[in-house]
Amino acid sequence: QLQLVESGGGLVQPGESLRLSCAASGFTLDYYAIGWFRQAPGKEREGVSCIRANGGRTKYADSVKGRFTISRDNAKNTVYLQMNNLKPEDTAVYYCAAHGPIYQAMCSMTKEPYGSWGQGTQVTVSS
């Protein structure tokens, strides 16, 4: 059974860092594009970053460019989201999602292509 599990969330102060992990089980990530999304209370779920299958091409929301970095370790079947210089507006539940299996599956910052989702991990940035 295809499953994604996020971890690494927590409570941090503004300016601090967190690294989120998205671990896959039941399938290998090689042929999947992976997206990170977040949803704050009362707001729509929005795309934060994504990484293409195999090639590793990435995309970022304007609000996180220069602060967040997405990466994948296919050997560990895990995708990471390194978040630096966190701001209060980054507070949300963060979800990872998988789209595939398609060789060189393109990543998308919209929810529609993604068929599998994790349960989410809470990130709170507050002083």
Mean pLDDT value of segment 103-117? 92
Q: Quick: pLDDT tens for 16-39.
A: 999 999 999 988 888 899 999 999
> What are the two backbone dihedrals, phi and then psi, of residue 8, each rounded to the nearest 5 degrees?
105, -5
pLDDT for position 30: 86
Which pLDDT tens digit goes with each residue over 52-107?
A: 988 679 999 999 999 999 999 989 999 999 999 999 999 999 999 999 998 888 89
39-48: b or e for each residue (b if 16 or more CB lie within 10 Å)?
A: eeeeeebebb
What is the average per-residue pLDDT within 4-23?
A: 98
Q: What is residue 18's predicted lDDT score, i.e. its pLDDT?
A: 98
